[in-house]
Structure 1
Amino acid sequence: MLNFEFSTPTKIIFGKGTHGEVGKEIKVRGYHKVLIHYGGTFLEENGVLDTVHKSLSDAGIAYIDFDGVVPNPRLKRAQEGVELCKKEGVDFILAIGGGSAIDSAKTIAYGLANDFDLEDLFLGKVTTTKIAPIGCISTIAATGSETSNSTVIDIETEDQGILKRSYNHDCARPLFAIMNPELTYTLPIYQTCSGAADIMMHTMERYFTNVEDVQLIDRISEGLLVTVRDEALKVIQDPTNYEVRANLMWAGSLSHNGLTGTGRIGDFATHKIGHELSAMFDATHGASLTAVWSSWAHYVYKTNIPRFAQFAVKVFAVEPNFHNLEETALKGIEAWDQWCHQIGMPTSLKELGINPTDEQVIEMAQKAADTGNGVIGGFMKLEKEDIIKIYQAAKG
């Protein structure tokens, strides 16, 4: 096990009706005016926004609504949010929604606390440890952004199209995360399952490591993976099952708060490869990951066959062949594909509805490689040509 630092400063308020407590949580911290950041119209339609407004008003806290969040959130909208915060004297950012709303809120918070151009932060030209205070109310089990240190945003450029970039620092962990599984009941099944796939991937990209003697975190990770594997199948049949929704929601946070990456070197190559699909084709995040994971797995599994065999046996209950671990490893990849299809997720670009040209593949591979200064991945180092081969294999 490697040396590590692990910080979980976010207070979790979990359970039925908890979104009505938001005013109390902000008041006790001494803030006075809140920017409520969200997207779509469902918060008005299901009464959540009214509940939040009342909670803030009852606590004597002023607020201003700021909508416009879209899947794969845009830097431009966040920059508009920064200007609104400065104009209105906002001292607290509240995100309501999933990863897109929370990441956009984090971006606004970075802009409010710093003087540099936000684009420079995400392009790696500047760094910071400062961010304005943020909290969130989660409405989807997926990215885990409510407890993570990660912020992902889309930058629209004139010469390179859309760049999906991230900035990671512990200052971006929200002060609190309110998590009411009831708010996920009306989420479309496709979005629910895409979220479940993202939870799986956040855990798997830490699980696939070449570091030895990490059994404790392996067992925690396998427990998360098996739970999400099973609950995703259940939620399709019973979307308003509170316990199922609760397990998925809590798994989303635990998968991406850093716990399952302690003591090891993980691998987020699939996320970087999938991000470029979302940037170029506006693909749903979780689906973009499942569309390429098995192609990545087939490309890299020989780096550590026992690790893939362990995944097969512990997560998908594949009968181990101790005389041929490679066979076991490959059956694990196959089992992953079968599970994805059971929950309606794609395992190829064709199934995702995307058929990139060779030029587009080269462009995406270059952009993915650029995020790691030419090399991505920890399980196996991948350069541009490796990424091109994975995209080509994923075409199906």
Structure 2
Amino acid sequence: MNSFTFYNPTQLVFGKDSIEKLPQMISQFTEGKKILVTYGGGSIKKSGLHTKIMNLLADYEVYEFGGIEPNPRLSTVKKAVAIVKEKEIDFILAVGGGSVIDGTKLISAASKLDNDPWDIVTRKVTPTAVVPFGTILTISATGSEMNSGSVITNWETNEKLGWGSPLVFPKFSLLNPEILYTLPENQTVNGIVDSMSHLIEQYFNEADNSAIGDAMIAGVMKQIMSAGRTALSQPDNYEARETLMLGATVALNGFMRMGYNGDWATHNLEHAVSAVHDIAHGAGLAILFPAWMKYVSQHQPARFAQFAEDVFDVDQNLSESEKVEAGIKGLEDYWQSIGAPSRLSDFEITAEDFETFADKTLFNGPFGNFYQLDKEAVMEIYKLAE
């Protein structure tokens, strides 16, 4: 394994009574009374969660900022930053899924700087202070509730980039699996794909020994797959929602990558697509991951054979090539069985876009920690996904 230092300061408060603890959690991190609540399209008002939160924040001066998009946009972040500065906000509460939390991380950091927030994303400026924030999670998918990463879309330039800072770990995250009962089916599906994709990115890594990580990743992935089927057929099954919620969190809070980085090429491939076409991140990953696997497995078959054994329990007597094929097919079949898309053409994306996508992925040169992709490889993967 690579040498590593593990750090994660987020307080995870998990269970049916977690949201009731909101006031006492906020009081740990600020004596101020001005709170900004950030959220997305307004589903928290329809579900009654908004009213519950406002009642819990009765002793605070509360401001609201809604409308953070599924792929959070720089222009939206800038509007929220202006509110934080004008009202001298003491604490931010992100209520939503990964997009709301990712947007809030940039709001938190940019509110302490005079620079354009995009300078943080492009690493021209490094945050040295932030407005503290916590989260109430409403969608299990990205793991943003317990990590320091964020992905932001600059719609004016059609760029979608990831950034991070140790300062933007949420101070706390409140997770009640019951909130997931009313999720639209497509959001449950995208969340399953997203959390599994994070695990797969880390399974295919650059280390010579990732035995502990392999075992954890395979175990968590199997539980997510099983719970995913149950949740889709029984949306109010608490045990299934509980498993999906915690599974998505541990998939990307650092626990699964101790001693290595993981590949992350497929995320780069997907960001280029959704920066231009604004499709859901999970949907893009469902399309592109099998295509990446088909291409890269031609060059590194042994690891893909092991993946098939660890995750799909394929017959040990199969040949290496048969195991590789069975593992990729197992993933494709599972995602298709839960209703995930499988082709770029499902979103009317054609080969005419591939050159644009490839140029966006390669702005820093070849990429991928497990297997590096150059332009020829990138174009081939997009063709496989067409």
The answer to whether the superposition gives a TM-score over 0.5 is: yes
Residue type matched to 2:360 in 1? K
- Equivalence for 2:17: 17
Residue type matched to 2:356 in 1? E
Check the 8 A contact 2:351/2:383 in 1, yes or no: no
Judging changes above 3 Å, is the alpha-carbon distance between structure 1 residues 42 and 301 closer, same or farther for their aligned structure 2 residues?
same
Quote the offset at 1:386 in angstroms: 1.5
Quote the offset at 1:210 in angstroms: 3.8
The correspondence of residues 83-94 of structure 1 with structure 2, limited to 5 A, is: 83-94=82-93
CA distance in 1, matches of 2:373, 2:142: 24
Quote the offset at 1:252 in angstroms: 0.8
Quote the offset at 1:125 in angstroms: 2.3
- Equivalence for 2:323: 328
Q: 1:386 aligns with which of 352, 377, 380?
A: 377
CA distance in 1, matches of 2:184, 2:103: 22
CA distance in 1, matches of 2:66, 2:261: 38
Quote the offset at 1:126 in angstroms: 2.4
Unpaired runs of at least 5, structure 2? none
Residue type matched to 2:7 in 1? S
Partner SS, residue 327 of structure 1: helix
Judging changes above 3 Å, is the alpha-carbon distance between structure 1 residues 303 and 379 closer, same or farther for their aligned structure 2 residues?
farther
CA distance in 2, matches of 1:122, 1:41: 26
CA distance in 2, matches of 1:293, 1:349: 12
CA distance in 1, matches of 2:324, 2:165: 35
Relative to the length of structure 1, the TM-score reads 0.94
Quote the offset at 1:211 in angstroms: 1.6
Q: 2:350 aligns with which of 346, 356, 377?
A: 356
Is 1:242 aligned to 2:238, yes or no? yes
Partner SS, residue 136 of structure 1: strand
CA distance in 2, matches of 1:29, 1:11: 12
- Equivalence for 1:113: 112
Partner SS, residue 302 of structure 1: coil
Hey, which bits of structure 1, 4+ residues long, moved more than 3 A? none
Quote the offset at 1:347 in angstroms: 2.3
Is 1:306 aligned to 2:294, yes or no? no
Check the 8 A contact 2:10/2:169 in 1, yes or no: yes
Check the 8 A contact 2:155/2:275 in 1, yes or no: no
CA distance in 2, matches of 1:357, 1:329: 27
Partner SS, residue 388 of structure 1: helix
Check the 8 A contact 1:107/1:151 in 2, yes or no: yes
Q: Deviations over 1:123-164 (max 9, x none)?
A: 23222343221100000110010011111111122xxx4211
Relative to the length of structure 2, the TM-score reads 0.97
Q: Over aligned residue pairs, what C-alpha RMSD do you find?
A: 1.3
Is 1:130 aligned to 2:129, yes or no? yes
- Equivalence for 2:199: 203
Unpaired runs of at least 5, structure 1? none
- Equivalence for 2:154: 155
Percent identical across equivalent pairs?
35
Quote the offset at 1:169 in angstroms: 1.9
Check the 8 A contact 1:142/1:198 in 2, yes or no: yes
CA distance in 1, matches of 2:206, 2:29: 43
Q: Deviations over 1:76-99 (max 9, x none)?
A: 111110110111110111100001
The correspondence of residues 164-313 of structure 1 with structure 2, limited to 5 A, is: 164-313=160-309
Partner SS, residue 95 of structure 1: strand
Quote the offset at 1:244 in angstroms: 0.3
CA distance in 1, matches of 2:245, 2:5: 25
Quote the offset at 1:303 in angstroms: 3.5
Judging changes above 3 Å, is the alpha-carbon distance between structure 1 residues 223 and 88 closer, same or farther for their aligned structure 2 residues?
same
